[in-house]
Amino acid sequence: MRRSLVVSLLLVLCGAPAFAEGPLLTEQGWAVRPEGRLSLDAGLILGTPAAWQTGLSAGVGGGVMIGRRWAWGVRASWSTATESSLAWTVTRQDMRVRAVGAIQQAAGRGTFALRLGLGPTVVHEDRVRNQGMRAGLTGSDLETSVFTTLPAADLEAVVAVRVAGPWALIVCGGPSVLFADGTFHGGWTTLLGAGWQP
């Protein structure tokens, strides 16, 4: 009986895998999988307001891309900025829509890309005269509101790091240029957000 107990114990110890050698519960979530052709991202946008040389425009943006080495897609964003002078308070909302082409390279958990976007920037400017209501001003003497559409282009460097499964952290940014009042205006734009690539 003692001998059979020792044999049974040896069989159990030698035949059963140790628990420490088994897969971790989180390995599936953290595993690097082959990237799909579709990618979506969205996040916080920061940049210079359209045609302004000062201030900071903040908002949200995102896009969809299709492709692996060469990718194509569309992007859109909305941001706003407010500036004041002695006479006026001006609020600008920038709505950007871009057709985008990118070249990208995967490396481990990361993807690096260079992205070029072309399209319109729709600007809504609301201008209010400070203390105008107290002075009895009305109509266009008190407030003006204007929409304009400007052609623009963005060049962005993109870094995406896969965090878990199809989810990734996205950081991108670079220079932008638009044509307004007969001249080109330079600026910059950045995005910090999350991406999804099944």
Whether residue 77 contacts residue 110, with contact meaning beta carbons closer than 8 Å, is answered with: no
pLDDT in tens, 119-157: 999 999 888 877 666 666 666 667 788 899 999 999 999
pLDDT score of 157: 98
pLDDT of residue 31: 57
Classified by CATH at the fold level, domain 36-80+95-120+154-196 comes out as Porin (2.40.160)
Going by C-alpha positions, the residue among 89, 87, 39 that lies closest to residue 67 is 39
Q: And the tokens for 32?
A: 């690097």
Per the CB < 8 A criterion, the answer to whether 98 and 119 are in contact is: yes
- CB atoms inside a 10 Å sphere around CB 112: 13
Cα distance between residue 44 and residue 82, in whole Å: 18
pLDDT at 128: 85
Q: Note whether 101 and 113 are within 8 A (CB).
A: no
For residues 3 and 60, give the distance between their C-alpha atoms in angstroms, rounded to a whole number.
73
List the chain domain ranges: 36-80+95-120+154-196
Residue with tokens 């962005």: 156
Instruction: Dump pLDDT digits (tens) for 21-77.
Output: 555 545 555 555 556 789 999 999 999 988 777 789 999 999 999 999 999 999 999
Q: Supply the pTM of this predicted model.
A: 0.75
* Residue 190 to residue 99: CA distance in whole angstroms: 17
The predicted structure's pLDDT at residue 117: 98
Which position has the higher pLDDT, 54 or 179?
A: 179
Residue 70 confidence (pLDDT): 96
